[in-house]
Amino acid sequence: MLEKFLQTIEEYNLIEVNEKIVVGVSGGPDSISLLHLLFTIKEKYNIQIYGVHLNHKYRGKEADEDAQYVHEFCTKLKIPCYVYSENVEEYSKKKGRSFEEGGRELRYKYFYEVLRKVGAKKIAVAQNLDDQAETMLMRFMRGSGIEGLCAMDYKRDEIIRPILNIRRKEIEKYCERHGLNPRIDKTNLESIYTRNRIRLELIPYISEHFNRNIKETLFRTSELIREDKKFLDECVKESYNRVIKEEVGKVIIDRLEFNKCHKAIQRRIIRECILYICSDLKNIEKKHVEELIKFIGMARSGSTIDLPKNLISLVKYEKVVIKKRENSKNKDFLYPVEIGKKIYIEELNGYIYGEIVSMDEYNSSNNGKYNMYFDFNETKELFIRNRRNGDKFKPLGLNGTKKLKDYFIDEKIPKDERSEIPILVSDDEILWVVGYRRSSLGKVKKNSERILRVSYIQE
């Protein structure tokens, strides 16, 4: 394994001589092996290594023992070790992230903190081939073009992943062979819904019925697609510079040049433009990009088109401008709610987050003002939107149906605030007037199989 590790480092230029390297260490087999491998080549490359561990405070005792173990392991190898503590669960809830996302955010925050403190230039993290395969599957199922299917790279900015091409099994063997006794991260085995389902159910299923080497296969796919992605990026950059003029808060598109570009490049130019103006692509879907491409291609001078994120595009003869519109209040909105994915509601500057939780987790919590539980099997397609004319619902505890308008009047909600109240609907039936009242639909029962928790987080 050491040989493969060295080969990867050489092939992808991951480490330079005399460098300082920060290593993220959870205490599990992956990161402990990574640390040990780096330690092994310490003299060859004359590198200085710094361990960083985040005690996530989940399952108190075990998390503390993880931190203890990492600290001792580093001390034994005379590697400086930075241990931070933070309640990841609390943090994630507050920020409307999943536990996994929240943990990731915090870890990287501390990695970069140490990076700056010690003057390092690299952060080594311990994702392996199995992780990569899982990432591929996850992204494929969520719907990603080659942007997502290129998955994780060996190197990206300061981050390096020197054991990305090594199987989890090999890593475990390495730990045994060197008597490293890593900790087993219990959170991995239970609480992270999506990734664990992929690891423990989906991959074994695919492996049994379709492709026994599914992990290696997906890993190879990610490598191929990453090359393609890099090539496309270069093409896009070249075209973007030719076609787009950036100004403060807006871009100006040279129509003639834009129309000469291939559709695959046009799509990416549009995304780059929106990234420039808004710094993210939330709520921008394929169909919006398509519309805009058509618009740039054919619309007459003077035409305008509305886009999500409060953007507007207008034609001025041979130029097309994209910029922020001035006022967005009281606009209708509608977003599909996806389980396990935090959805940003631009109009409210808030997030809606739906997740499947266990009966235990449900019992130990309560429905709250911005936190509500439903019987997932009784829901259909979920959306979050603001009110529509004619909305009715069945407030829990009340007999029959009530017009939403009447409910708002009873609740003395001012007219101009009513459009800013998020409403959770299943198909088109109201489940929850967020912050106010739930309907009797989808109530959790004793025998409910799967429980959906929906949270709303105001930024």
As annotated, the binding site for ATP includes 26-31
Using CB under 8 A, which of the segments 213-221, 269-277, 364-372, 434-442 binds a copy of itself? 213-221
217 binds a copy of itself (CB under 8 A): yes
Q: How far is the CB of 224 from a copy of itself (least distance, A)?
A: 4
**At a CB cut-off of 8 Å and minimum separation 6, what does 93 contact?**
102, 455
Q: How far is the CB of 216 from a copy of itself (least distance, A)?
A: 8
Q: Which of 253, 265, 307, 345 binds a copy of itself (CB under 8 A)?
A: 265
155 binds a copy of itself (CB under 8 A): no
For a copy of itself, the closer CB: 211 or 303: 211
For a copy of itself, the closer CB: 205 or 435: 205
140 binds a copy of itself (CB under 8 A): yes
Beta bridge partners of 371: 368, 455
Q: Which of 53, 97, 199, 267 binds a copy of itself (CB under 8 A)?
A: 267
Q: How far is the CB of 53 from a copy of itself (least distance, A)?
A: 31
Number of residues that bind a copy of itself (CB under 8 A): 45
- Tell me if 62 sits within 8 A of 186, measured CB to CB: yes
Tokens found for residue 134? 């899982």
| Burial (CB count within 10 angstroms: exposed 0-12, middle 13-18, buried 19+), residue 352 | buried
- Using CB under 8 A as the binding rule, the residues of this chain from 218 to 237 that contact a copy of itself are 218, 220-221, 223-225, 227-228, 230-232, 234-235
Q: Which of 116, 117, 121, 142 binds a copy of itself (CB under 8 A)?
A: 142
For a copy of itself, the closer CB: 227 or 411: 227
User: Considering only CA atoms, which of 423, 449, 420, 426 is closest in space to residue 434?
Assistant: 423
Q: Which of 121, 245, 262, 324 binds a copy of itself (CB under 8 A)?
A: 262
Q: How far is the CB of 235 from a copy of itself (least distance, A)?
A: 7
- Binding-site positions read 26-31
- Using CB under 8 A as the binding rule, the residues of this chain from 337 to 376 that contact a copy of itself are 338-340
245 binds a copy of itself (CB under 8 A): no
1 binds a copy of itself (CB under 8 A): no
Where does this chain bind a copy of itself (CB under 8 A)?
A: 138, 140-146, 149, 194, 197, 202, 205-206, 209-214, 217-218, 220-221, 223-225, 227-228, 230-232, 234-235, 262-265, 267, 286, 336, 338-340, 381
